[in-house]
Chain A
Amino acid sequence: QQQVKQSPQSLIVQKGGISIINCAYENTAFDYFPWYQQFPGKGPALLIAIRPDVSEKKEGRFTISFNKSAKQFSLHIMDSQPGDSATYFCAALPGGNEKLTFGTGTRLTIIP
């Protein structure tokens, strides 16, 4: 069963715009939520991560927003650039468990 639901499957955003990717989860035992970025032909790379004790974390143009009551978290990419075109995966890890569960991915395309 899909424990982390990610949407949309694909997203096209104009250069300079805001890209938003959403994830939802059911398992309240999850307590670590990373986002990964993957370019074609490469392995996923850790982008940013958040724990549920904060509602937002920002690193440069990338922000995670976390809503614990709704069991949702999202990635916002500000001032999106063509170099941000990649597939993005959200993931979740339960406390005390090393098994990371991934969403199905969002293919982001930034157009000029």
Chain B
Amino acid sequence: DAGITQSPRHKVTETGTPVTLRCHQTENHRYMYWYRQDPGHGLRLIHYSYGVKDTDKGEVSDGYSVSRSKTEDFLLTLESATSSQTSVYFCAISYSGFEQYFGPGTRLTVT
């Protein structure tokens, strides 16, 4: 998985609780991305980062925030989880902004 790890790999949480997912890379790539994958929707971009402390919104950013204080780490936070945020979350990295390499995913269930 191209030197990308995601943690946790599985999480069950209750509605209204905050949740933070972590993406860690060892490739020193500039770009990092968070996607969610849901049946019938493919992969949808939540947020991405083009450098330390440089982030931008994607297609489905409402209810999510991100932070990148180091090149290797990109955090995704659900401030107050809702059942509609039950999904599989993938982190991806890219050196150039073209080829993207995905992590193994985090399965999040919000009850």
Q: How far is the CA of A104 from the CA of B38 in the complex (A)?
A: 9
Q: How many A-B residue pairs have CB under 8 A?
A: 53
In the complex where A34-B99, A43-B103, A43-B105 touch, is A102 in contact with B42 (Cβ < 8 A)?
yes
Q: Is the CB of B41 within 8 A of A104?
A: yes
The CB with the most chain A CB atoms within 10 A, among B50, B100, B103, B105, is that of B100
Q: How near does chain A come to B85, taking the closest CB pair, in angstroms?
A: 19
Tell me which residues from 86 to 112 in chain A have a Cβ below 8 Å from any Cβ of chain B: 89, 93, 98-105
Which A residues touch B50, using CB under 8 A? 98
Chain A count of residues within 8 A CB distance of the other chain: 21
Interface residue from B40, B44, B48, B102 paired with A44 (Cβ < 8 Å):
B102
Q: How near does chain B come to A1, taking the closest CB pair, in angstroms?
A: 10
The CB with the most chain B CB atoms within 10 A, among A46, A98, A101, A104, is that of A98
Which A residues touch B101, using CB under 8 A? 45-46
